[in-house]
Amino acid sequence: MTKTKTKFFCQECGYESPKWMGKCPGCQAWNSFVEERVASSKNPFFDTEGNSTKETAASIIEIKGSQEQRIMTDIGELNRVLGGGLVPGSLILVGGDPGIGKSTLLLQVSHSLAKSGLKVLYVSGEESARQTKLRADRLNALSPNIFVLCETNMEHIEESIEAVQPDFMVIDSIQTVYHPLISSAPGSVSQVRECTGKFMRMAKGKGIATVLVGHVTKEGAIAGPRLLEHMVDCVLYFEGERHHSYRLLRAVKNRFGSTNEMGIFEMSEVGLREVDNPSELFLSERPIGVSGSAVAASMEGTRPVLVEIQALVSPTNFPTPRRMSTGIDHNRLSLIIAVLEKRMGMVLQHQDVFVNVAGGVRLDEPAVDLAVAISIASSFRDKSTGPFDAVFGEIGLTGEVRGVSRAEQRIKEAQKLGFKKVIMPEKSMKGWTPPAGIEVISIATVTEALNAALN
């Protein structure tokens, strides 16, 4: 007979320990260990029969390469983020805050694939079949090729997969699925690891494109061990403010495409609608003739996006001024403020500085540095920038403006939206000719940029 004993697992990284520890040696997380019962016999829970094959080493030249045939959906923004559509046999993890629209998006994707004749299995562990049907009625996502299963038992889900033989499968959510042979609770490290492993083997073996929905923690990361993200082929984050109608879909891991792409959707009464021109969305409420505002030309993957950078500089009576940023890295903001103080002579030691990216989007590209500096200087000097000016460029510690990539695409996007002037790095002017109808000002330092933008 098998003996059961207890072990402790880190909920963040899956580190295993025979006793409880306050700090995980693997990921350095505090109070992340939970106790789970395991069996001492050899591999009692993880059934690997028929799932492993003996392979022999082969020269990489002799291996036959093949181009993966992707499955295209009617949702172009999703195809962009995935790198050109769904790959058969891929395992995708989608995370996001509760109520952000994950189930809505996946039901719309299921309907899009079902219309093309593919079989779809939608496994819901959190809602009943009636609730799923009500959402499908609201989204007009009804098709005889969509099969709904309300089940959390892994063995029963496997039986349904064998019966339906789907081409696309959704598991909503992976934290609710459990294997009956494992005594720990659903969502624990053992359950998530084993159930994800089984879904991975079924996806690869049967060629089923599988999407797992994951819960998120208070910090916004996908709940459960990081092992879950390592096992899947693609990790998508569905972001957005619940008080705004738009949603952002980002890829943080993608074995079949780029991780720099971003898909933008707008939530409506009939589901998620694609936003073809996100620049118009982010600039729709931009004030004209107000100090502390600048338009940055940023790149999200292969797509140029124009966003508004807002800054507010106000005196403070406290010895330590506040530095707050929303949408850009706080450390990057501190660096830009230090450059303005040292190289431009701005006295910001007694000024609170608040920077916000309008629209709630987060920008990680260094090319928005120049727009942040100009917006801060505009608020500090109380001078407004031109209503039809766009800027981009990376700022160095010596006050120089470094070149950035894809300058021509940024300028064409600005021209398409009616901008008349673009301030950009001089280093990015090589190898191409600016288009007619828009003024391009090349600068080499932050001083030149401020003179061109605020005079």
Binding site membership for ATP: which residues? 96-103
Domain 285-454 part of CATH 3.30.230.10: yes
- Categorize the per-residue pLDDT at 154 as very low, low, confident or very high, splitting at 50, 70 and 90: very high
- Categorize the per-residue pLDDT at 68 as very low, low, confident or very high, splitting at 50, 70 and 90: low
What is the edge-to-edge ordering of all strands in the sheet holding 246-254?
Answer: 146-149, 120-124, 168-172, 209-214, 91-96, 234-239, 246-254, 262-268, 271-274
Across 32-41, 54-63, 237-246, the highest mean pLDDT is recorded for 54-63
pLDDT value of position 97: 84
237: pLDDT strictly greater than 80 = yes
Q: What's the rounded Cα separation, in Å, for the pair 259 and 248?
A: 14
pLDDT value of position 149: 94
Average pLDDT over residues 387-397: 95
302: pLDDT strictly greater than 50 = yes
Tell me which amino acid residue 86 is: L
- Categorize the per-residue pLDDT at 49 as very low, low, confident or very high, splitting at 50, 70 and 90: very low
pLDDT value of position 183: 78
pLDDT value of position 426: 93
- Categorize the per-residue pLDDT at 46 as very low, low, confident or very high, splitting at 50, 70 and 90: very low
Q: What's the rounded Cα separation, in Å, for the pair 109 and 43?
A: 38
Q: What's the rounded Cα separation, in Å, for the pair 447 and 455?
A: 12
pLDDT value of position 11: 76
Distance of CA 160 to the CA centre of its chain: 31
pLDDT value of position 242: 64
Of 29-43, 168-182, 374-388, the least confident? 29-43
Superfamily classification of domain 76-276: P-loop containing nucleotide triphosphate hydrolases (3.40.50.300)
Average pLDDT over residues 337-357: 93
- Categorize the per-residue pLDDT at 48 as very low, low, confident or very high, splitting at 50, 70 and 90: very low
- Categorize the per-residue pLDDT at 431 as very low, low, confident or very high, splitting at 50, 70 and 90: confident
Q: What is the mean pLDDT of the chain?
A: 87
Say how many C-beta atoms besides its own lie within 10 A of residue 370's C-beta.
30
pLDDT value of position 440: 94
Of 41-55, 98-112, 297-311, the least confident? 41-55
Q: What's the rounded Cα separation, in Å, for the pair 328 and 421?
A: 24
41: pLDDT strictly greater than 50 = no
330: pLDDT strictly greater than 60 = yes
pLDDT value of position 224: 59
Binding site membership: which residues? 96-103
Q: What pTM value is reported for the model? A: 0.77
